[in-house]
Chain A
Amino acid sequence: MVHLTADEKAAVTALWGKVNVDEVGGEALGRLLVVYPWTQRFFDSFGDLSSPDAVMGNAKVKAHGKKVLNSFSDGLKNLDNLKGTFAKLSELHCDKLHVDPENFKLLGNVLVCVLAHHFGKQFTPQGQGAFQKVVAGVANALAHKYH
């Protein structure tokens, strides 16, 4: 369970309200594939991932990033029950997608970098702290059903 103080919840809600979830999703997934190229192993069908420009401009990356982040956004509405919220997705990532949960941590940290990039000084240490708790909670929830 994620334990956010009232101030942290407010910080997360306020910041997330200003996020263009579709765009940030594509940006975060794209940067994951550029910064940690071994993560491309899950996306053989996505076409050209041969350069940072190719990755960031890739339509399938953008579409999938949007999907992932909309799902993450749902998590934000259920911080008190992340394990329940992500139970089915956890099973999917283990049984069908075979994704090492380490990748959830990598994506979470890339997302934090993207938020920092967008919000600049508004992304205060306290705001970052709140988001780090959230991304860690989501990563744990997604790993919870692994066996």
Chain B
Amino acid sequence: MVLSPADKTNVKTTWDKLGGHAGEYGGEALERTFTSFPTTKTYFPHFDLSPGSAQVKAHGKKVADALTTAVAHLDDLPGALSTLSDLHAYKLRVDPVNFKLLSHCLLVTLACHHPAEFTPAVHASLDKFFSAVSTVLTSKYR
């Protein structure tokens, strides 16, 4: 699955409209993931996962910052995310199924906060973008 020029435009335009809230949305998406899909919590035994957790918010910002980097390098996701790809393959080893769960909750978060932007076409482009990022992050797993 390849991002078309229209997909890239949709992703960039939408991400620009997040208005500095990307970090907050990253935290919310994580909270939604842990609530809806409790098995995802197994990767964070060392975290306080209660609502409002500062650790979850900080981690959400980290995730959002990485996505912002990805948005700036849509033409070379493998290059831009290479270090993160190594990290996920050799250290974190998060089962690939979980990327879909977080991606879904990122979509839900964006739909909640930016209804005007979340048209069907943008929904499709964002889903493809998160899928492309997930593929890069799991590309060195074996």
The verdict on A113 contacting B107 (CB below 8 Å), with A35-B127, A55-B120, A121-B112 known, is: yes
Which chain A residues (77-118) contact chain B, with CB distance < 8 Å?
109, 112-114, 116-118
Contact of A116 among B108, B119, B124 (CB under 8 A): B108
Report if B104 contacts A (CB, 8 A): yes
Report if A146 contacts B (CB, 8 A): no
| Docked CA distance A113–B114 (Å) | 12
Contact of B118 among A52, A117, A121, A132 (CB under 8 A): A117
* Interface 1/0 per residue, B21-45 and A, CB below 8 Å: 0000000100110011100000000
Question: A125 CB to closest chain B CB, in angstroms?
Answer: 4
* A129 / chain B contacts, CB cutoff of 8 Å: 32, 35-36
Report if B54 contacts A (CB, 8 A): no
Report if A12 contacts B (CB, 8 A): no
Query: Cβ of A34 and Cβ of B111 under 8 Å apart?
Result: no
Question: Looking at chain B's contact residues, is the secondary structure mostly helix, strand, loop, or mixed?
Answer: helix
Report if A31 contacts B (CB, 8 A): yes
| Docked CA distance A12–B89 (Å) | 38
* Interface 1/0 per residue, B106-142 and A, CB below 8 Å: 0111011101001111011001000000000000000
Query: Cβ of A35 and Cβ of B123 under 8 Å apart?
Result: yes
Q: What range describes how many residues of A lie at the interface?
A: 20 to 34
* Interface 1/0 per residue, B48-89 and A, CB below 8 Å: 000100000000000000000000000000000000000000
The verdict on A52 contacting B120 (CB below 8 Å), with A120-B112, A120-B113 known, is: yes
* A13 / chain B contacts, CB cutoff of 8 Å: none
Question: B7 CB to closest chain A CB, in angstroms?
Answer: 12
The verdict on A34 contacting B108 (CB below 8 Å), with A125-B32, A126-B35 known, is: no
Query: Cβ of A116 and Cβ of B35 under 8 Å apart?
Result: no
* Interface 1/0 per residue, A124-136 and B, CB below 8 Å: 0110110010000
Query: Cβ of B112 and Cβ of A123 under 8 Å apart?
Result: yes
The verdict on A113 contacting B121 (CB below 8 Å), with A126-B35, A128-B35 known, is: no
Query: Cβ of B36 and Cβ of A125 under 8 Å apart?
Result: yes
Q: Which of chain B's residues has its CB closest to A56's CB?
A: B120
Report if A30 contacts B (CB, 8 A): yes
| Docked CA distance A52–B37 (Å) | 30
- A residues adjacent to B (C-beta < 8 A): 30-31, 34-35, 52, 55-56, 109, 112-114, 116-121, 123, 125-126, 128-129, 132
24 A-B pairs within 8 Å (CB atoms) are namely A30-B120, A31-B123, A34-B120, A34-B124, A35-B124, A52-B119, A52-B120, A52-B124, A113-B104, A113-B108, A113-B123, A116-B109, A118-B115, A120-B112, A120-B113, A125-B28, A125-B31, A125-B35, A125-B36, A128-B32, A128-B35, A128-B36, A129-B32, A132-B37
